[in-house]
């Protein structure tokens, strides 16, 4: 949870690994979507290559080509 005086950007920076774990391993699609949204909105900008790798990983998790 965001503590007193802690911004969402600070929270995401401090909990980035946990959010990534939730995206990769959670069975709950709502939790995965919230984690992804938080990283996209408040996280550091990723390289295009890293984004492509993440998209491919998500496609594989979803069960194929989309």
Q: State pLDDT tens for residues 11-64.
A: 999 999 999 999 999 999 999 999 999 998 999 877 788 888 888 888 888 875
The answer for residues whose C-beta is within 8 angstroms of residue 20's C-beta and 6 or more apart is 35, 39
| Two structure tokens written together for 34 | 């919230």
- What is the C-alpha to C-alpha distance for residues 37 and 33, in angstroms, rounded to an integer? 6
Domain boundaries, the chain: 8-62
pLDDT value at residue 46: 72
**Cα distances (angstroms) measured from residue 18 to each of 26, 38, 42:** 11, 12, 14
* Contact in structure between 12 and 36 (CB atoms under 8 Å): no
Contact between 2 and 11 (Cβ < 8 Å): yes
């Amino acid at each position: 949870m965001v503590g007193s005086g802690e911004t969402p950007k600070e929270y995401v920076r401090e909990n980035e690994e946990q959010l990534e774990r939730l995206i990769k391993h959670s069975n709950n699609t709502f939790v995965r979507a919230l984690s992804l949204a938080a990283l996209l909105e408040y996280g550091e900008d990723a390289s295009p290559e890293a984004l492509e790798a993440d998209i491919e990983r998500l496609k594989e998790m979803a069960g194929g080509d989309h």
